[in-house]
């Protein structure tokens, strides 16, 4: 579930900022392919690069309590 929340959060923030994926990749200093993978919910992404994108909007990754009953 957390992966879906992250994908939704990134897309919403990008759209609120009036950016397309290419704009986001340039502003965050990551590749366009990475942004596409991130927004498609790829399960293996580098946390430092995810944080580069999140930092653009004033956020960073952090631990959240896992619900053992839900599956990603």
pLDDT tens-place string over residues 20-54: 999 999 999 999 999 999 999 999 999 999 999 99
Q: Is the pLDDT of residue 69 over 80?
A: no
Q: Which CATH number fits domain 2-56: 1.20.1370.20, 3.40.720.10, 3.40.50.300, 1.10.260.40?
A: 1.10.260.40
Residue spans per domain, the chain: 2-56
pLDDT tens-place string over residues 9-18: 999 999 999 9
| Single pTM value for the model | 0.85
Q: Say if residue 37 is exposed, middle or buried (CB neighbours under 10 Å; 0-12, 13-18, 19+).
A: middle
Question: Which 8-state DSSP code applies to residue 30?
Answer: -
Residue whose C-alpha is closest to residue 36's, from 22, 48, 55, 26: 22
């Amino acid at each position: 579930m957390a992966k879906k929340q992250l994908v939704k959060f990134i897309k919403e923030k990008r759209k609120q900022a009036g950016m397309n994926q290419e704009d986001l990749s340039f502003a965050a200093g990551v590749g366009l392919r990475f942004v596409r993978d991130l927004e498609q919910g790829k399960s293996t992404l580098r946390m430092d690069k995810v944080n580069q994108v999140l930092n653009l909007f004033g956020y960073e990754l952090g631990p959240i309590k896992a619900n053992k009953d839900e599956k990603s």
